Structure formats: structure tokens, C-alpha cells
Amino acid sequence: MEQRLKKFVTVFLISVMALSTTSAIAASPTATPKPTSKTTASETKKPATKKPVVKKKKVVKKKKKKKLPPLQPVVCFGKAWPPSGFTQNGEVFAKIPTASQLECESSDNYTPAKVFLRADLRKCDEFACGAVTVASDARCTWWEVTSTFERIDLKTGKIEATLGTLRTVSQGTNAKTIQSIMLISGIKHRDADGKILNNIKASGIAVSCHHDAIPDLSNRNFFTAS
């Protein structure tokens, strides 16, 4: 830390009195002695005291910060309710999202819940995944999705084998709020060359909106191989 040295300058004003005395005495039988004296005194002039210079403070005008408009939620499935293209069962709506809709929704930084979606999409680079987009007329405290993973023949579309079943739990939503849920299996879907295999599909997707206590969401996908 820089130390500031304060210099104290004390000015002593010394008044000097110069005295000079001249005496002249004359003797006379008739005259009485008359002493005469002449005294001169001179005092040094005091130096003029300079008035301190008061520096005017610069007035810095604060720039007013421009208020940015509030972030608006990203709309990937339209604003209308009930949502277009969804299948309805009671209060619940669901649909299989397109890749562009998932990309759109994951780019939404307005909603903190999209953190789950972005993290899950990264996992789908290693594991075979499905996806479902859900919504409800009423608030859901949490969502549950069950699905089956199958290997299919890409030429005919026929099922070659059932690979396992998956149970997925997810955070809840407010009424009329749309949310996509990734269904992450335990099946790695890359061949020996690192190429993604496109012949593994999620089917038989069933969606449930719950209104009871929220379960532990630290693990959200439970896969059981066939």
C-alpha cells in the first residue's frame, strides 16, 4: 500500500527590532545638560500569506443505463392453446417433437428448466434416445414417461428385436406450459467406426402427469434390458 507522506511546513515569522541610539552631551556652566536621543526601529515585513487554491471538483455526469427489454420465452410449438399437433388424453397433451423443435427449445435461456434438456441432449450423443413433448391444462408436480426400445429394419420398418424398457421421470410444469423430455436408454448406438446407428427407436410411449410429491430427480432414467 502506497504510503502518503504528509509534509508539514512551519513558517516562523520573526520580528526583528533594530535599535540604534545616538547620545550627544554638551557641558556648559549655564546650561543644564540636555540629553538627546534618537531611536529608530525597523520591523521586517511579514511575507504575504497566500490563500490556498481551492480546486473545483469536476462534475462527472452519470450516464443513465438503458434498461434492456425483458427476455421473452422462445416459442417453438406456437402460442395457441390447446397446442396444435398434440394428441390429447384428458388434461394431458403430448406429441413426438421434431429435431428442429428440440433444437429450438434447448436454445431457450429464459426458462431454467431447459438446463435439463440441454444436458440430456448431450447424453444422446452416446446413448440411443427418444423424446416426447408434454403439456397439461393443470399444473403437474412431476412427469412420468414409460417407453420400449426396439431395433428395427430400416428398409421394411419391421421390429427385429425388443432391446429393453425405460421409465423416465422429469420435473413438473405449470398449467399450459410445454416441455420436452428426453428418453435416454442404456443402449450405446455407435458402431466400431463411431458412426451413429439409426435403427434403434423408442415406441409405446405413455405419459403421466402427477400431482403428488416430487420424487428424487438426481437419476431420471431407469432402463431395463430385455
In a domain, 201, yes or no: yes
Residue 129 host element (H or E): strand 127-136
Name the stretches of the chain with pLDDT < 50: 1-43
CATH number, position 104:
2.60.40
- Are the C-beta atoms of 93 and 135 separated by less than 8 Å? yes
In a domain, 102, yes or no: yes
Domain housing 125: 87-225
In a domain, 113, yes or no: yes
Number of domains in the chain: 1
At a CB cut-off of 8 Å and minimum separation 6, what does 226 contact? 161, 162, 163, 164, 165
In a domain, 54, yes or no: no
| pLDDT for the residue numbered 26 | 36
Grid cell locating 19: 535599535
* Count of beta carbons in the 10 Å neighbourhood of residue 190: 13
Chain centroid to CA 198: 38
| pLDDT for the residue numbered 197 | 87
In a domain, 57, yes or no: no
In a domain, 69, yes or no: no
Count of residues for the chain? 226
| pLDDT for the residue numbered 36 | 42
| pLDDT for the residue numbered 37 | 43
In a domain, 12, yes or no: no
* Count of beta carbons in the 10 Å neighbourhood of residue 51: 6
| pLDDT for the residue numbered 168 | 98
HEC profile of 158-220: CEEEEEEEEEEEEEEECCCCCEEEEEEEEEECECCCCCECCCEEEEEEEEEEECCCCCCCCCC
In a domain, 195, yes or no: yes
Summarised one tens digit per residue, pLDDT across range 2-12 is 434 333 332 32
Q: Is 151 helix (H, G, I), strand (E, B) or coil?
A: strand
| pLDDT for the residue numbered 140 | 98
